[in-house]
Amino acid sequence: MAKMKAYASFDDYLEDQSVKNKEIIHALRRFVKRAEPGLREAVKWGQGCWIGTNGPVVYVHSETGYVQFGFFNGASLRDPKQLLEGKGSYVRHIKVHDASGIDRRAFAALLKEAAGSRSTRSGLRTQGSANPPGWPRLLWRHSSRASHRTVLSANCRFCMPGTE
C-alpha cells in the first residue's frame, strides 16, 4: 500500500495540487470560511480538512479532473438536491469539477447541518440513535477495516481536535 503523503499545513497541501484543483479548493476554502467560520483548517489522512470542536466535519480530496468535497457524517445529512455520492456507512462527497459548480445555498445547508451534528464528545459519529438504557453507544472509529466499530474510548488520535 502506498504511504500517505504528509503535509505540514493546509497551504502545503494546496500547493501540491494541480492548477485546476487548486482553483476549486481555493473556492471551497473561501466558501467554508464564510459559511462556517468556526471550523479550523487541518490536514488529516493526507487531505485538507475542516475540524469543528467535536472533530472532523468536511474534507477536500483531489482527483484527476475534480475535487471531492466530502462530509465525514454525510450519510446522515438531509440532501434534498441529491448532491451527495457514496455508499459507505458514513462518508459522502460531492464531486466538484469547476469552481463555478459550487451550489452555495445547497453546500451551505449541508455544511451547517454537518457542523452542527457532530455532537458526541469525541467527535465520532454514533451508530444508531437509540440504545437500551445503560448500554454504551457504539461509535465508529478509524481502522484499517472499514466495518470496525468500538465502544467510545477516551481519545481517538485520528479524530480528536488538536491531534494532527
Q: How far apart are CA 74 and CA 93, in angstroms?
A: 7
CB 55 within 8 Å of CB 161: yes
143 vs 79 pLDDT, higher one: 79
Whether the pLDDT of residue 137 is over 70: the answer is: no
pLDDT at 72: 94
The pLDDT confidence band at residue 54, using thresholds 50, 70 and 90, is confident
CB 95 within 8 Å of CB 85: yes
Q: How far apart are CA 156 and CA 92, in angstroms?
A: 21
161 vs 132 pLDDT, higher one: 161
Helices (H), the chain: 10-15, 19-35, 104-116
Lowest model confidence (mean pLDDT) among 30-34, 105-109, 134-138: 134-138
Lowest model confidence (mean pLDDT) among 41-45, 82-86, 156-160: 156-160
The pLDDT confidence band at residue 53, using thresholds 50, 70 and 90, is confident
Q: pLDDT > 70: what percent of the chain?
A: 69
Task: Identify each DSSP E strand in 72-148 by its residue range.
Answer: 92-96, 138-140
pLDDT at 2: 63
Determine phi and psi for 78, rounding to 5 degrees: -75, 130
Whether the pLDDT of residue 81 is over 50: the answer is: yes
Radius of gyration in angstroms for the set of CA atoms belonging to the chain, rounded to a whole number: 16
Beta-carbon count within 10 A of 8 CB: 9
State pTM to two decimals.
0.70
The string of pLDDT tens digits covering residues 100-115 is 999 999 999 999 999 9
pLDDT at 1: 61
Determine phi and psi for 72, rounding to 5 degrees: -60, -30
pLDDT at 157: 44
* Helix, strand and coil in the chain, % to nearest 5: 25, 25, 50
Whether the pLDDT of residue 158 is over 80: the answer is: no
Which domains can be identified in the chain, with CATH numbers?
10-116 (3.90.1150.200)
CB 42 within 8 Å of CB 9: no
